[in-house]
Amino acid sequence: MIKKILIFLFFVFAVTQPACAQRNGERIFRQLRKWLTTRQTAVQLPAATEELSHLSAAVHDQVAAMQQLTATRADLSKRGFVPVHPDLWKPLPPEMAAYTRSVFRARSLGEQSEVTFSGVAFKTTYLGQEEMFGVVAAHALSPEPGMSLLGSEFTAEVFGEGGFTTVPAKLVQVSATSTLDLALIKFRPEDEKLFTPLALAKQEVSADEKIVGLGFGQGKWVLSKRSFLAKTPFSIRTSFTVPWVNRGGLCGSAVLNAKHELLGIHTGSTRDVEYRDIGYATPVEFLNTLVEAYHNNGNATFPLYLNGEKIASLQPDEFISFVRLKDDQGRIIWRREVRDKFPYQKIVERLPRARYIELSINKAIWTGNYLQQDHLLTRSVEYDFKTRREVR
């Protein structure tokens, strides 16, 4: 009985501590054999010795397997694969491997070259011509002075057979961070062949549809399964299961539907009052807004809807800085300064008591060094929910 317990403990030790087993396996084997020799009868010794011989062979096989796993893990690490568990590294599943050229690492230049974010290559049609663009999160450029993020000039690292290839990226159109939070980029014509641009989803996401996210967290591949929660004027909200330690740099990554079409661009995550992690993605229809602005000297518009009603039209570089809800007599019943994302849910909850909504609209200015949210009032819009029209 003691012999079986020792053999079992030795096997567990060898499996859970392969490095130690490799160094000390022979020594432990000799000690066990010596112990059995002094405590077992001559009749029992041959059988025990045979069992230990089989055990030694099994341990050596296990050590060899662990050495192979370690080598594979190191290879995957060099190729940019992320661990889905601290002790388990896996490449992307076969159905997703085809899309490794569709996302890229956006990396800043110079002293801040360690700063990386995600980006997506996509294709769309403008005036009958198919074009390819890249997109990153606008807040990754540098949302305010003194913050060194990507800046106006950065590189894109796209994965290929020989590893990652670095190409220059050119910023061509930018939107406000508190609305669309998207920045459009172009690549040199000779570099576009390195990418496999994603097609834009043509249908709205359904509640039970399988959704996945693909991008780079801490510079490593991150593939996340998500479920649809809600859609607001500027974002798709999904569940978000990526551990906090792997989230850095995921902004700008792709959110794909079951057909692996591009549903949206991941722009951030938060935790709600129920302690659920929520992911935000800007819907792909706004990518076409930026493409239109790119071709028209920055001029394009997109609608702002509340409860299915269009209450205003915005330019890509505009953002809402203040919201006021008013009753039938025009008295303010709720107000909110918009410092980050548009407070859609809080507004919807208060709409039954409101007749008017007033929006203060400002412009985001790209200076070439950073994206400045200019808080000098550009214009004001007021909408009447009873007559369903703008009154100012």
**Based on the number of CB atoms within 10 Å of its own CB, is 173 exposed (0-12), middle (13-18) or buried (19 or more)?**
buried
Residue after which a domain boundary falls, among 176, 199, 222: 199
Confidence band of 29 (pLDDT split at 50, 70, 90) = low
For residues 316 and 290, the answer to whether their CB atoms sit within 8 Å is yes
Q: Can you tell me whether residue 178 is helix, strand or coil?
A: coil
| 315 shares its domain with 383 | yes
Confidence (pLDDT) at 116: 85
The candidate with the shortest Cα–Cα distance to 344, out of 227, 177, 178, is: 178
Q: Measured in Å, how far apart are the chain's first and last C-alpha atoms?
A: 90
| Interval 378-392: pLDDT, tens | 799 999 999 999 987
Question: How far, in Å, are 22, 57, 155, 369 from residue 64 at the CA level?
Answer: 9, 11, 41, 54
Q: Among candidates 287, 289, 292, which has minimal Cα distance to 303? A: 289
Same domain, 105 and 182: yes
What is residue 157's predicted lDDT score, i.e. its pLDDT? 93
Q: Is residue 251 part of a domain?
A: yes
Q: Is residue 378 part of a domain?
A: yes
User: 86 lies in a domain?
Assistant: no
User: What is the pLDDT, as a whole number, of residue 115?
Assistant: 74
Inside any domain, residue 371:
yes
Is the Cβ–Cβ distance between 198 and 135 less than 8 Å?
no
Q: Answer with the residue of higher pLDDT: 128 or 59.
A: 128
Q: For residues 327 and 348, what is the distance between their CA atoms, to the nearest angstrom?
A: 15
User: Residues 124, 159: one domain?
Assistant: yes
362 or 151, which is more confident: 362
Task: Tell me what pLDDT residue 253 has.
Answer: 96
- Token pair, residue 173, equals 């159109």
Domain membership of residue 10 as a residue range: 2-78
Q: What is the pLDDT of residues 242-296, one digit of tens each?
A: 888 778 889 999 999 989 999 999 999 887 766 788 999 999 999 999 999 999 9
Task: Report pLDDT for 110.
Answer: 61
Residues 274 and 328 both lie in one domain: no
Point out the least confidently predicted range of 75-79, 274-278, 282-286, 317-321: 75-79
Which of 199, 224, 257 is a domain's end point?
199
Residue 144 or 325, more confident: 325
Higher model confidence: residue 196 or residue 97? 196
Between residues 85 and 276, the one the model is more confident about: 276
Find out whether 63 and 14 touch, Cβ atoms under 8 Å.
yes
Q: What is the CATH number of the domain that holds 250?
A: 2.40.10.10
The answer to whether 263 touches 147, Cβ cutoff 8 Å, is no
129 part of a folded domain: yes
Split into its structural domains, the chain has a count of 4
* Cβ partners under 8 Å of residue 333, min gap 6: 325, 326, 327, 350, 353, 354
> What pLDDT score does 94 carry?
76
Buried b (16+ CB within 10 A) or exposed e, 115-132: bbbbbbbbbbeeeeeebb
Do 193 and 184 contact (CB within 8 A), yes or no? no
Domain boundary among 143, 176, 199: 199
How many other CB atoms are there within 10 angstroms of residue 284's CB atom? 25
CA dist list (Å): 186 to 8, 197, 294 = 61, 12, 10
Contacts of 121 (CB under 8 A, 6+ apart): 101, 102, 103, 104, 132, 133, 134, 158, 195, 196, 197, 198
Give phi and psi for 145, each to the nearest 5. -60, 145
86, exposed or middle or buried, with CB in 10 Å at 0-12, 13-18, 19+?
exposed
Specify the residue for token string 């549809």: 209
- Compute the average pLDDT of residues 116-127: 95
The pTM assigned to this predicted structure is 0.75
pLDDT of residue 353: 94
Asked if the structure places residue 100 within a domain, the reply is yes
Residue 361's pLDDT band (boundaries 50, 70, 90)? very high
| 163 touches 392 (CB < 8 A) | no
**Cα–Cα distance, 66 to 64 (Å, whole number):** 5
**Same domain for 144 and 229:** no
Q: Which region among 85-94, 128-137, 191-200 has the lowest average model confidence (pLDDT)?
A: 85-94
Average pLDDT, the chain: 80
Q: Are residues 313 and 385 in the same domain?
A: yes
Task: Give percent of the chain above pLDDT 90.
Answer: 46
Lowest mean pLDDT among 54-58, 153-157, 331-335: 54-58
Amino acid identity of 274?
E
Q: Are residues 324 and 375 in the same domain?
A: yes
In a domain, 273, yes or no: yes
Q: Residue 148: which of 370, 298, 299, 366 has the closest Cα?
A: 370
Which pLDDT does position 378 carry in this prediction? 78
Say whether both 255 and 327 belong to one domain: no
Q: Are 132 and 262 in contact (CB under 8 A)?
A: no
Percent of the chain's residues with pLDDT above 70: 70
pLDDT at 52 over 70: no
Q: Are residues 124 and 54 in the same domain?
A: no
Q: Please report whether residue 290 resides in a domain.
A: no
